[in-house]
């Protein structure tokens, strides 16, 4: 598990490697033993798959009456990123820390701030959490206890999005990644990026695809027909919502509105750069050379053989 979690050799923030492994040892067991509640909703995904989008949608569906007033606060004040402490200590000197201090004064990353926040989350609200961890690093009874929504995105676009994300990810220690796209793509195919091998992440979920507490959504389907996907989600989450309320959730989480909110939010903007970058399917073709495209296709064919899924790439 440790190997999955460190930034790869390609990543420039060397102190980050050490801190991250230290924090996994320190907090991984805590995360594994985290107690879920029956009415929790856990968003699961490989990074850059549309986690923030689906989280905003779910939050607005669960809290339709709060969208106008609370919907503009930072997403992590409403949806708890439970492994944040483990993978983001590179940002401990970043403005993100200020926000965490506001919620939990005196907290240090190594205290497991995100976990503590989720644990003590207000009882009045239905708790919504997100994690990028591989399913087997989370509590084995998670799906027996509460509902989980997995968002999957085609690996080419995940890779492109990851590239821009790491290029933008900045703390006082420097940029997370300054190499070429091809270097990042090689690391992604090797499973060397934070959160490790893409296919392993997906396969662990697909093994549970018929579990009644698991709902799988594809980023590309959400792009193509957001209302259709929200209706399925409404049923899965047993929510009594009108179509009008679904419209409100859709609008609250539109790319344009989310981007606008980011601009207003200094904290997020300063350490993550342009997080809401493009939000499109098929950006891969703008970066990959023919040679890389061929190798990626072969990698996809090899790893998706026998899996009952077909990604859309445009």
Interface ranges with ligand A3P (CB under 6 A): 45, 47-53, 157, 161, 164, 253-255, 258, 276-279, 283
Q: Is the Cβ of residue 80 or residue 276 nearer to ligand A3P in the bound state?
A: 276
Least distance (Å) from ligand A3P to the CB of residue 255?
A: 4
Give the whole-angstrom CA distance, residue 100 versus residue 247.
31
Instruction: Work out how close the CB of 123 gets to ligand A3P at its nearest, in angstroms, rounded to a whole number.
Output: 27
* The pair of three-digit structure tokens given for residue 293, joined into one six-digit string: 């495209």
Beta bridge partners of 148: 42, 214
Give the dihedral sign, CA 111/112/117/118: negative
Q: Which is nearer to ligand A3P, 166 or 300 (CB)?
A: 166
145 vs 177 by CB, closer to ligand A3P: 177
Residue number, 48 or 234, with CB nearest to ligand A3P: 48
The distance between the two most distant Cα atoms of the chain, rounded to a whole number of Å, is: 54
Does residue 153 contact residue 142 with C-beta atoms inside 8 Å?
A: no
Tell me the sheet residues that pair with 174. Answer: 171
Alpha helices in 11-112 (DSSP H): 14-32, 51-62, 67-70, 75-78, 84-87, 95-103
Which one, 134 or 164, has the nearer CB to ligand A3P?
Answer: 164
Q: How far is the CB of 306 from ligand A3P (least distance, A)?
A: 26
Task: For the CB of residue 47, give the shortest distance to ligand A3P in the complex, in Å.
Answer: 5
Nearer to ligand A3P, 255 or 299 (CB): 255
**Beta 128-131 vs 41-45: how paired, if at all?**
parallel
> Which residue, judged by CB position, is nearest to ligand A3P in the bound state?
279
CB of 106 to ligand A3P, least distance (A): 29
Least distance to ligand A3P, CB of residue 94, Å: 17
Encoded tokens for 81: 């990123």
Half-sphere exposure of 300 (CA within 13 A, CB side): 19
């Amino acid at each position: 598990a440790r190997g999955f979690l460190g930034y790869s050799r390609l990543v420039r923030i060397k102190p980050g490697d050490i801190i991250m492994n230290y924090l996994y040892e320190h907090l991984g067991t805590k995360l594994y033993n985290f107690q879920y509640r029956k009415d929790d909703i856990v968003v699961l995904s490989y990074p850059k798959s549309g986690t923030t989008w689906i989280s905003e949608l779910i939050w607005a569906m669960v809290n339709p009456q709060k969208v106008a007033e609370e919907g503009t606060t930072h997403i992590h004040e409403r949806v708890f990123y439970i492994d944040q402490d483990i993978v983001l200590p590179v940002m401990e000197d970043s403005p993100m820390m200020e926000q965490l201090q506001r919620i939990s004064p005196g907290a240090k990353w190594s205290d497991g701030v995100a976990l503590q926040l989720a644990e003590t989350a207000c009882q009045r609200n239905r708790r919504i959490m997100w994690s990028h961890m591989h399913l087997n690093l989370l509590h084995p009874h998670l799906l027996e206890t509460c509902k989980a929504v997995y968002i999957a995105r085609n690996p080419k676009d995940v890779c492109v999005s990851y590239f821009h994300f790491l290029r933008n990810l900045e703390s006082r220690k420097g940029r997370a990644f300054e190499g070429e796209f091809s270097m990042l793509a090689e690391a992604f195919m090797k499973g060397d990026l934070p959160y490790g091998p893409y296919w392993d992440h997906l396969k662990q979920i697909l093994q549970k695809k018929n579990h009644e507490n698991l709902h799988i959504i594809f980023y590309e389907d959400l792009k193509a027909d957001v209302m259709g996907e929200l209706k399925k989600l409404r049923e899965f989450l047993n929510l009594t919502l009108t179509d009008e309320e679904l419209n409100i959730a859709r609008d609250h989480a539109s790319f344009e509105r989310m981007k606008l909110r980011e601009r207003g939010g200094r904290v997020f903007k300063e350490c993550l750069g342009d997080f809401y970058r493009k939000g499109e399917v098929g950006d891969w073709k703008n970066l990959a050379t023919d040679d890389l495209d061929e190798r990626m296709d072969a990698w996809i064919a090899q790893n998706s053989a026998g899996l009952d899924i077909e990604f859309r790439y445009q």
